[in-house]
């Protein structure tokens, strides 16, 4: 194939498409939708992945969350064995602190045994706050950045004092422009003095509102004596995360009397592990969207094949003339393959623009989602659309190339 033959083939293809603009557009509409969906979904998933990865990594590379089953994102449902596991205890956290030399800080976290807890201050209300009881060391875990006041001390927890530290959302919702320090708030029928407020972490599970309301651990235990659900937030020393994981696993297996030949009855979750779990889910989602988008590409490809067959019939006389003056079978084959691939590649470009518009709209609707069209999605869109044109253009092109020149000249 010479450069002249390629140039002439492209020129003929463009002339044919220009002379049938509406037909060409309707032919590649399926390709546009299919490619646009791939681009749009790729942009949204890329933004979603960046956002969630930032949230998970905000816990720090050395952070470990210990719970009775894995936290974060799951591909499968909890097993019956996981649902019946015993709760972690404060003693488990104390033993990790005492017996794990690779661990820097440990904080037990106690959850209330009821949901939908509300907070009130004078005429202002905050509904469904995130209430936790934590130790003083929780402030060193990467999720506490103080705004006003201070975090509570170990002594305040030991003496079960009614003090609270508020997230940014509760501070704004209850106090607006007032100074909250020293004010008394009512939470689920209990009164607490506000001693500090936190800034919302740059990347946080708590979303834009940050409705955290933190109490000293033993204060929480006193007010909710039936609360039994504990998690343990651990920070390992730099470079000693694997060692810390092994030590924590050993301590907990001894504490929970797990036989040596049985699996763990608890879970240790790190930021990297949660990111990997999340990416398993997004990979499945993207695969499903690829399959659905392929339906649009299949419809577009069949449309291209039908129109190319019509085009061969309409241009039979032209093909006969070209063969009569010396065109070879390969020249005719190249002409129609170029026309089919050019048609679908233009559809692919339109699909990329359509997908880019989807990403812009998603950015406007979901301001916290940094959707952007990744380069791999744009390249994939073009490659797939050209491939569709070549695949579905083979039969019409081959049919045109095999026409007998004498019969083609007689065709009217």
Determine how β-strand 163-166 pairs with β-strand 190-198: parallel
Whole-angstrom distance, CA of residue 361 vs CA of residue 371: 9
Contacts of 102 (CB under 8 A, 6+ apart): 236, 237, 240, 243, 244, 247
Whole-angstrom distance, CA of residue 217 vs CA of residue 311: 77
Question: Residue-wise pLDDT tens for the chain (412 aa)?
Answer: 566 666 766 676 677 777 777 777 877 787 888 788 778 777 777 777 777 777 666 667 788 889 988 876 665 677 888 888 899 999 999 999 999 999 999 999 999 887 788 999 988 888 889 899 999 988 887 678 889 999 999 899 999 999 999 998 899 889 988 899 999 999 988 999 999 999 887 555 444 568 899 999 999 999 998 888 999 999 899 889 999 999 999 999 999 999 888 888 998 988 778 777 777 777 787 788 777 777 777 777 887 787 777 777 777 777 777 777 777 777 777 777 877 888 888 888 888 888 888 878 877 777 666 667 777 777 777 787 888 877 877 877 777 777 766 665 665 5
Would you state the pLDDT for residue 139? 86
List Cα–Cα distances, 352 to 28, 260, 296, 341, 385, in angstroms: 13, 56, 14, 16, 11
Would you state the pLDDT for residue 367? 66
Task: Of 161, 160, 167, give the one whose Cα is nearest residue 198.
Answer: 167
* 3-class secondary-structure state, position 389: helix
Phi-psi region of 239 (alpha: psi -120 to 50; beta: other; left: phi over 0): left
Please state the φ and ψ torsions of residue 20, each to the nearest 5 degrees: -135, 60
Would you state the pLDDT for residue 180? 92
- Write down how long the chain is: 412
Strand ranges, E, within 152-305: 163-166, 184-187, 190-198, 212-216, 230-236, 267-270
Tokens matching residue 165: 């530290």
Burial 192-218 (b: 16+ CB within 10 A, else e): bebbbbbebbebbbbeebbbbbbbbbb
């Amino acid at each position: 194939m010479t450069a002249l033959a390629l140039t002439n083939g492209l020129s003929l293809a463009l002339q044919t498409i220009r002379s049938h603009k509406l037909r060409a557009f309707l032919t590649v509409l399926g390709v546009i939708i299919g490619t646009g969906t791939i681009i749009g979904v790729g942009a949204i998933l890329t933004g979603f992945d960046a956002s969630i990865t930032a949230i998970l990594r905000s816990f720090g590379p050395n952070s470990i969350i210990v719970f009775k089953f894995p936290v974060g994102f799951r591909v499968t449902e909890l097993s019956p064995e996981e649902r019946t596991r015993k709760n972690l205890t404060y003693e488990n956290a104390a033993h990790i602190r005492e017996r794990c030399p690779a661990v820097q800080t440990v904080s037990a976290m106690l959850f209330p045994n009821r949901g939908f807890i509300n907070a009130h201050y004078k005429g202002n209300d905050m509904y469904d706050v995130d209430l936790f009881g934590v130790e003083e060391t929780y402030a060193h875990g990467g999720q506490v950045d103080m705004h006003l006041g201070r975090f509570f001390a170990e002594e305040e927890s030991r003496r079960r004092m009614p003090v609270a530290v508020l997230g940014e959302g509760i501070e704004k919702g209850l106090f607006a422009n007032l100074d909250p320090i020293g004010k008394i708030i009512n939470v689920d029928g209990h009164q607490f003095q506000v001693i500090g407020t936190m800034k919302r972490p740059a990347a946080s599970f708590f979303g834009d509102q940050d409705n955290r309301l933190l109490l000293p651990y033993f204060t929480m235990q006193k007010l909710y004596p039936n609360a039994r659900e504990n998690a343990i937030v651990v920070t390992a020393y730099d470079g000693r995360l694997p060692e810390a994981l092994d030590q924590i696993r050993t301590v907990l297996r001894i504490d929970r009397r797990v036989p040596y030949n049985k699996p763990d009855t608890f879970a240790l979750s790190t930021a990297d592990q949660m990111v990997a779990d999340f990416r398993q889910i997004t990979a499945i989602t993207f695969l499903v969207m690829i399959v659905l988008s392929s339906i649009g590409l299949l419809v577009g490809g069949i449309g291209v094949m039908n129109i190319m067959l019509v085009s061969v019939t309409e241009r039979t006389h032209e093909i006969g003339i070209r063969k009569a003056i010396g065109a070879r079978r390969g020249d005719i084959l190249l002409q129609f393959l170029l026309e089919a691939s050019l048609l679908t590649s233009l559809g692919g470009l339109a699909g990329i623009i359509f997908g880019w518009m989807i990403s812009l709209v998603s950015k406007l609707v979901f301001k916290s989602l940094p959707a952007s069209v990744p380069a791999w999605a744009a390249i994939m869109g073009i490659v797939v659309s050209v491939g569709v044109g070549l695949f579905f253009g083979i039969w019409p092109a081959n049919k045109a190339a095999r026409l007998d020149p004498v019969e083609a000249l007689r065709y009217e």
